[in-house]
């Protein structure tokens, strides 16, 4: 839990999010997309390597290393995809404060 003193140190009022939250979430999403692409490539590479070594040398150490690295890259891919999905859901649920809310102006009758 963040104490009011900690928020005052960052220069924000209680209940208001820092202005850099949106930029940081955009950067985080971009970085997660790049990492996810890298993990897909790694998983495909190690899947091909595991299949090849499993075909040519079944049960060998090289096959098990390829299977282990395939599992590692698949786990990283799932984790990055989950974090990206949660980040996108969090940014969708956040309200945009672009302008003051419009209120109906009641006409005054004298």
Is the pTM of the predicted complex or chain greater than 0.75? no
Q: Is residue 1 very low, low, confident or very high in pLDDT (cuts 50, 70, 90)?
A: low
* Conformation bin of residue 15: beta by default, left when phi > 0, alpha when psi is -120 to 50: left
Distance CA 58, CA 52 (A): 9
Instruction: Give phi and psi for 104, each to the nearest 5.
Output: -70, 130
**What is the distance between the alpha carbons of residues 16 and 101, in angstroms, rounded to a whole number?**
16
Q: How many CA atoms lie within 13 A of 82 on its CB side?
A: 6
58-98 per-position pLDDT tens digit: 999 999 999 999 999 999 999 999 999 998 887 776 655 55
């Amino acid at each position: 839990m963040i104490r009011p003193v900690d928020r005052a140190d960052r220069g924000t009022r209680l209940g208001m999010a820092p202005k850099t939250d949106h930029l940081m979430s955009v950067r985080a999403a971009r970085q997660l997309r790049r990492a996810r692409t890298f993990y897909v490539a790694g998983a495909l590479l190690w899947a091909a390597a595991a299949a090849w070594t499993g075909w040519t040398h079944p049960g060998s150490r090289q096959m098990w290393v390829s299977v282990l690295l395939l599992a590692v890259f698949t786990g990283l891919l799932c984790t990055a995809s989950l974090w990206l999905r949660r980040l996108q859901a969090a940014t969708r649920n956040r309200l945009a404060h672009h302008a003051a809310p419009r209120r109906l102006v009641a006409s005054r009758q004298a």
